[in-house]
A = this chain, B = another copy of it.
């Protein structure tokens, strides 16, 4: 038993919670939680589902799988309920895929901090491939080819490509052209694509074109999603996966169901009831999603502006609630403060400015790079009332509790780079 560590974002969140409980005033941008109140109808469905105390099918009941199939079908991915598995979050479904599908894993660099540890838990090696300048969540197609060749030269067998659309941590969305190029590489190199689309309903501008790899390479793409981010119920642990039609997809799904049956049995019944409602997307839920996406977009854009004004290079956010600045351009100034890498940058922000971010190296990026992920979704206020105000506001940035926090962030980064 080597030194075990808790997933760094969850660990950081626990540390911050302890400091806040101690009375410290901290700006917490180190954890990807959509801190918004649970939407009323979701709570009603949880209550309505309380009587669901039986185990039921491993994949989830017929009703929730039909709803999820409808959800994907409405997104240009025709889906039968037999292609769906729901689970306690998308995390366990992703872990199951790692255990079921042979071969090593290719990831964008940076990528969500759980992909690589899951691959390692499954005895695989994870290869981080640099992302293009335009967007993260997908590797640069040329670099992807090179990494595959280099990995094979090392005797490894990369077989699984994980994409994140829109991306955590960069907050960007790969263009259809880029997705197409990456899918072409996957075809040529016979990779399984895992498309993590958990932020899909939080694209800021509804007009942004979105193409899923499941549209372009249907037999080789598994799509995962969940309600944690779009509907702000991370603590309820509700995820779903869509498997390809056809024999390969069936085989992978069988494997995931086998693993599920021995590890978590099924998604809790009341949560299936919630998921059935959410995936059926009635009008009031679509409105809630639109309001949430808009709020996340406005605040992420404001934080993005602060980072760029301070001197960072930063891709403009297009979905979800993250920015991923690179303070490389002001390396000289930061060096004078003892900030020379990703770790000292995050530590300095915490120690000197009480600002929590997640250091880039924890996401597979270079330790020496001056990068971090800032989650902007916990800046909407500490109470449900303030959060609902933020959701309803014509201009959330004018709300005192949000503008005060942004000013505090602005002052900190201005000082940091002065």
Contact = CB atoms under 8 A, between A and B. Distances in A.
Interface of A: 1, 4-7, 10-11, 13-14, 17, 31, 33, 35, 37-38, 43, 46-47, 50-58, 88-89, 91-92, 95, 99-102, 114, 117-118, 121, 123, 232-237, 251-252, 254-255, 257-259, 261-271
B100 A1 contact: yes
Given A7-B261, A117-B262, A46 B55 contact: no
B46 A235 contact: no
A121 B17 CA distance: 35
Given A6-B58, A262-B121, A268 B1 contact: no
Given A46-B46, A266-B237, A258 B55 contact: no
A233 B1 contact: no
Question: Which one of A53, A267, A271 has the greatest number of beta carbons of chain B within 10 Å?
Answer: A53
A389 to B, nearest CB: 18
A4 B254 contact: yes
A295 B157 CA distance: 56
Given A50-B47, A53-B232, A53-B234, A262 B7 contact: yes
A215 B29 CA distance: 45
Given A47-B50, A53-B232, A263-B263, 17 more contacts: A1-B252, A5-B258, A6-B257, A7-B265, A10-B261, A10-B265, A31-B55, A35-B54, A43-B51, A55-B235, A89-B264, A91-B264, A92-B92, A92-B263, A121-B262, A235-B269, A268-B271
A55 B234 contact: yes
A387 to B, nearest CB: 11
A292 to B, nearest CB: 13
B50 A46 contact: yes
Q: In the assembly, how many copies of this chain are there?
A: 2
A96 to B, nearest CB: 9
Given A7-B262, A263-B91, A235 B268 contact: yes
Nearest to A5: B258
A58 B254 contact: no
Contacts of A269: 235-236
Contact of A270 (B254, B265, B270): B270
A88 B271 CA distance: 12
A278 to B, nearest CB: 13
B258 A53 contact: no
Contacts of A271: 268
A13 B261 CA distance: 12
9 contacts: A1-B251, A1-B255, A10-B55, A10-B261, A38-B50, A43-B51, A53-B236, A55-B235, A117-B262
B88 A268 contact: yes
A11 B260 CA distance: 12
A53 B235 contact: yes
A236 B266 CA distance: 9
Contact of A1 (B91, B101, B265): B101
A254 B7 CA distance: 11
A230 to B, nearest CB: 13
A261 B6 contact: yes
B57 A38 contact: no
A38 B50 CA distance: 8
A40 to B, nearest CB: 10
B237 A54 contact: no
A99 B37 CA distance: 36
